[in-house]
Amino acid sequence: MQDRPPENRSPDSRRRDWLAAIDSAADLAALGALDVALLGKTGEVTELVRGVARLPREERPAAGRAANELKVALETAVAARRAVLERSALDAALSSTGFDPSEPPLVDGPQPGVRIPLRRPRGTLHPITIVRDELVDLFTSMGFTWQDGPEIETDWFNFEALNIPADHPARDTQDTFWLDDGNLLRTHTSPVQIRSMLRFPPPLKVIVPGRCFRAETVDASHEHSFYQMEGLVVDEGVSTANLIHTMKTCLRVILERDVTVRLRPGFFPFVEPGFELDVNCPFCAGQGCSVCKHSGWIEILPCGMVHPNVLRAGGIDPERFTGFAFGMGLQRVVMLRYGIDDIRLFMGGDLRFLSQFDGVAR
Ligand code: PHE
C-alpha cells in the first residue's frame, strides 16, 4: 500500500483503516490493487500471517488466530465490495446499450407489427371456488357424492315436488325469473334433492354446490345470482343428532375454529321440523359485535328433517326412511371466513379484490 499505516498504530485501528479502504474502493481496478497489496503473495497481511512463525513459541497460537481472523475478514470484505462493483459495472454497461432486462419478453401478436407480452398475468381462484372446493373435499371425505343439476328447472322440481304448491305463500319469498316455455331459473339447489332421490336408492348422501337465481334487489347482502350448497342424507334411522353433528364438523373446518351452534325453528315447506342454524359469532366469540348485530350469534344455514311428502316425491318410503337436508349460502360462508362485508364484491370482477386470494387455497 502506498500510505502504509505507521507501525505504532494499534492492530485495531489498522484493521479499521483497511476495511474502510476496501469499502470505499471506487472501482474494480482500485479494489484489485488493494487486494494485491494486502492479501497478495507479498501483501502486508500475508506477511503478517507469515510473521507468526517467527514469534516465540508461546505467543504463536494467539497471534496465529488473530492474524487468520483478520485475513478472513479482509477477504470477505473484498468479495462483498467486488459483488457491488461488478453489479454497478453491469448496470452501467446495460444502460449504455438501452437494454432493459426487467422488460417482459415480447412475441409477435395476431396482427402484423403488434408485439404482445409473452407471459400473461396469472389468474387466481375465486374465493367462492376456494371455499366450495374445501367443502367438497370435506363432504366427500365423509362419504357424500357431488351431484349437479340444471340451472333451468321445471316448476315441479323447483317447487311442487318440494311441497310448495302453486298457491303456497313460500313462493313469494323465492320470486324467480320465468322463461317463456314455463320453466324457470332455479331459486335454490333443493330441486337436486328430488333428482338425486329419483336416481339413487337410499342410503343416500349427496352435496350439490351450484348457482341459483332470484328476482332480488341487489344490496350489500343480496344478489340475483348466488351460490348455494345443498346437502341431503337419507337412510334408516337418520335423526336431528346426525344433522347437528354434520353441520358442526363442516363449520369447524370451514371457519377454522371450534364452534357452538344453536337451532331455532325455521319454516321451509320441504322440511319438518325445519331449523335456522346459528353459530356463535367467530368475530367476537359470542360477546356481541357489529357483525353479529350484538346478538353473539350469526345465522348461517337453514336445515331440517326431510318432509315425508318430499321423500314420497323422490320415490322413497317415508315409513321406512328418514333424512336431513341443509342449504348453505356459499357467499355467506365465504364472507364470514374472510371478513368480507359486501356480497357485490364477488360479482364485480375487480382484480384488486380478487387478487387478494392469490395463494390462499389449501
Ligand atoms: N332451499 C332453501 C332456500 O334456499 C334452504 C334449505 C335447504 C332449507 C334445505 C332447508 C333445507 O331457502
Over residues 117-127, the pLDDT tens digits come to 887 777 889 99
Count: domains in the chain: 2
Burial of 277 (C-beta count, 10 Å sphere; 0-12/13-18/19+): buried
In a domain, 362, yes or no: no
pLDDT of residue 282: 77
The answer to the question of residue 334 being in a domain is yes
CA distance 48 to 45: 5
Handedness of CA 124, 129, 134, 138 (dihedral sign): negative
Q: Say yes or no: CB of residue 209 within 6 Å of ligand 1.
A: no
> Do 99 and 136 have their domain in common?
no
Atom number, ligand 1, closest to the C-alpha of residue 212: 4
pLDDT at 305 over 60: yes
Dihedral angle computed from the Cα positions of residues 73, 78, 82 and 85, in that order, rounded to the nearest 10 degrees: 100
Q: Are residues 85 and 168 in the same domain?
A: no
Q: Is the CB of 325 under 6 A from ligand 1?
A: yes
Provide the pLDDT confidence category of residue 96 given band limits of 50, 70 and 90.
Answer: confident
The whole-model pTM stands at 0.68
CATH of the domain at 226: 3.30.930.10
Lowest mean pLDDT among 137-146, 278-287, 305-314, 317-326: 278-287
119 CA distance to ligand 1 centroid (A)? 45
The pLDDT of residue 3: 55
Residue 21 lies in a domain: yes
Q: Does residue 5 lie in a domain region?
A: no
The answer as to whether 120 is a domain residue is: no
Looking at the structure, tell me whether residues 205 and 302 fall in a common domain: yes
Please report, rounded to a whole number, the percentage of residues in the chain having pLDDT higher than 70. Answer: 98
User: Which residues, 6 or more positions from 103, have their beta carbon under 8 angstroms from its beta carbon?
Assistant: none
- Residue 271 CB–ligand 1 contact under 6 Å: yes
Terminal CA-CA length for the chain: 61
pLDDT category of residue 200 using cuts at 50, 70 and 90: very high
Give pLDDT, residue 343. Answer: 83
Q: How far apart are the C-alpha atoms of 325 and 92, rounded to whole Å? A: 69
Q: Are residues 298 and 343 in the same domain?
A: yes
CB 296 within 8 A of CB 287: yes
The alpha carbon of 130 and the centre of ligand 1 are apart by a number of angstroms equal to: 22
**327 CA → ligand 1 middle, Å:** 4
Same domain, 243 and 276: yes
Query: How confident is the model at residue 313, as a pLDDT?
Result: 97
Averaged pLDDT score across all residues of the chain: 89
- Ligand 1 contact via 210 beta carbon (within 6 Å): no
Q: How far is ligand 1, taken at its centre, from the CA of residue 228, in Å?
A: 9
Q: Tell me, yes or no, whether 114 lies in a domain.
A: no
Same domain, 27 and 169: no
* Residues 306 and 158 occupy one common structural domain: yes
Do 203 and 301 belong together in one domain? yes
Q: Which residue, of 107, 138, 153, is where some domain finishes?
A: 107
CB of 303 shorter than 6 A to ligand 1: yes
Q: Whose CA is nearest to atom 9 of ligand 1?
A: 326
Residues 328 and 273 in one domain: yes
Domain boundaries, position 207: 127-357
Residues 19 and 63 in one domain: yes
Mean pLDDT on 339-343:
82
Same domain, residue pair 328 and 258: yes
Side-chain-side CA neighbours of residue 107 (13 Å): 4
- Do residues 89 and 140 share a domain? no
- 302: CA distance to ligand 1 center in Å? 6
Is 207 part of a structural domain of the chain?
Answer: yes
* Cell triple for 114: 403488434
Q: Is residue 100 part of a domain?
A: yes
Q: How far is CA 168 from the centre of its chain?
A: 42
